[in-house]
Chain A
């Protein structure tokens, strides 16, 4: 480098110095802009600007510390700071207040800490506005997603009525015209209406008398339709398919299992262990909703119901309020006379939740029952589904036995029926 400079002379050195200082200034600016990013990346999992999270709110923190050096030293390594400064009562009492939960040492240099502190002192207003606008957009998008079918239908009906009315008017006008031109004769030939003084009933009887076959046909059609409706209705007795009750919290599977890719068993963890697939406790919701205190759709309205249920106080970040369990409305409910076991199907059978519950990750609030859960539905599936035995140690012994048993028929693959899935006592006992 130095040889380079000496060759080219002083002017160039100056220029280089300029460029260098510009570069430094720029990099400093980058740091300042990165304050927000650094904050989100390193601190936001414990600190908010306003309100407690794991640690205290950081808004105005510089006023609480007597020197900025100390503050920076604390942020870089709070434990080190505590042991180096046994006299700092404020820091020690803070540590005690937070139950000695340790703020981890931060691998940040001074410039980065400064950038974070700048961001804390002045969280740029522009970006906040942007975020707000984004939220509104989301809401607007939600609104436009509303179901307008009913309005469309009504509108269509109105238009239809108008058209019918106009057509009838035209017909009457034409009739009057004909009457005017041809007199009574014209109508008799048409065989339509002979006397304008007939009541509607008389007209109908007259028409029916002339079209017996048509009337009989129509009668049959109506009867078939009605019987079909009744039959379908009777088949629906005791079947919950499509049941989608209002729930105490507007919980949306689309937001959770769809948009945020949370797997079903994170919440319904008992599905792999036992008969029932559990409904998650409200404490499990808190795993995420201690952090996510506001939703983009309903704001704090729905999420605050979780806090009510577990007695969480967002001010103190502690569970110091009375609890009030959530009463979810049960959707799926087989009669007691039938036995169904989740782990049997999910673990041993390796069947996806979606095969029985439909594309749940696309269901918005409210949740609904997808399958009819009738005995016919179970049996059909048992007849058609091949047991996934390969590479499934649950079946190792059984598979060998079955291959032996069905050797003559040369069957290698087995449906649930062949391992006894149609025996009444498998499901009724």
Chain B
């Protein structure tokens, strides 16, 4: 009887111990932990011991179109001039953009894009981003918005790794509504007389570049 009790308590001590530093006992883990590399596993095969590998340099996923403009001031200006939203405007896209905005942007830029999100108002954050409908960003063209989300701008980091291109274009639509743009009217105009619109745009952008 004594011995049984002793064994029982030893087993209990081992199995039941709840040390938060240890995941606990695994019994015969042969099929739990297979030899293939799992996500985020350490792998001694590679020099840096990281199981997660980068794709070979220059490789492009199927069906993926890399972003054409470089991360320079020239690239930024060119994108502003040339890039157009490839997604045809619809209200659905704007509301999808709003949803994405709520996940990825709202904590800095704030609900209405006034630059009053929780992180931006944290005293440790150097300075809030400018309001979308303020003097600095009110007339930012779609291409520049896309460019800035892709590569980041100043203190804002790049978001290309988190948000794919299509979602970024949806975001552009939503940011434009926060800028106070009447997208429907813009779209209608573009549809009715595209060529004229483009020329106008060019002029607009030229004047813009001078003070941007």
Chain A residues engaging chain B, CB cutoff 8 angstroms? 39-46, 48, 53-54, 77, 79-80, 99-102, 104-107, 131, 134, 226-227, 229-230, 232-234, 236-240, 242-246, 259-263, 265-266, 269, 275-276, 279, 281, 283-284, 286-288, 290-292, 294-296, 325, 327-328, 330, 333, 335-337, 366, 368
A335 and B31 in contact, given A229-B16, A262-B119, A265-B103 (Cβ under 8 angstroms): yes
Residues A104 and B212 in contact, CB atoms below 8 Å apart: yes
Interface size class of B (residues with CB under 8 A): 35 or more
A337 and B31 in contact, given A233-B14, A236-B15 (Cβ under 8 angstroms): yes
Residues A266 and B157 in contact, CB atoms below 8 Å apart: no
Dominant SS among interface residues on chain B: loop
Q: How far is the CB of A39 from chain B (nearest CB, A)?
A: 8
Per a CB cutoff under 8 Å, which of B24, B103, B127 touches A45? B127
- Say if the beta carbon of B102 comes within 8 Å of chain A: yes
A237 and B15 in contact, given A79-B212, A335-B33 (Cβ under 8 angstroms): yes
Per a CB cutoff under 8 Å, which of A44, A261, A279 touches B118? A261
Residues B122 and A260 in contact, CB atoms below 8 Å apart: yes
Q: How far is the CB of B142 from chain A (nearest CB, A)?
A: 18
Residues A325 and B50 in contact, CB atoms below 8 Å apart: yes
Per a CB cutoff under 8 Å, which of A77, A275, A279, A283 touches B211? A77
* Closest chain A residue to B152, Cβ basis: A287
Residues B135 and A226 in contact, CB atoms below 8 Å apart: no
Chain B residues engaging chain A, CB cutoff 8 angstroms? 5, 8-9, 11-12, 14-16, 18, 20-27, 29, 31-34, 36, 38-40, 42, 48, 50, 72-73, 102-104, 106-108, 117-119, 122-130, 134-136, 152, 154-159, 161-163, 210-212
A105 and B15 in contact, given A236-B24, A266-B162 (Cβ under 8 angstroms): no
Residues B104 and A243 in contact, CB atoms below 8 Å apart: no
Per a CB cutoff under 8 Å, which of B134, B154, B162 touches A46? B154
Q: How far is the CB of B137 from chain A (nearest CB, A)?
A: 9
Which residues of B have CB within 8 Å of A233? 11-12, 14-16
Residues B32 and A337 in contact, CB atoms below 8 Å apart: yes
Q: How far is the CB of A369 from chain B (nearest CB, A)?
A: 8
Q: How far is the CB of B1 from chain A (nearest CB, A)?
A: 9
Q: How far is the CB of B92 from chain A (nearest CB, A)?
A: 12
Residues B162 and A291 in contact, CB atoms below 8 Å apart: no
Residues B126 and A243 in contact, CB atoms below 8 Å apart: no
Per a CB cutoff under 8 Å, which of B5, B25, B104 touches A226? B5
Per a CB cutoff under 8 Å, which of B24, B108, B152, B156 touches A239? B24
Per a CB cutoff under 8 Å, which of A291, A328, A366 touches B125? A291
User: A44-B126, A236-B16, A276-B40 known; 7 other A-B pairs, CB under 8 Å?
Assistant: A226-B9, A230-B11, A236-B24, A243-B24, A284-B162, A287-B157, A336-B33
Taken together as a complex, chains A and B put the C-alpha atoms of A286 and B211 apart, in Å, by: 30
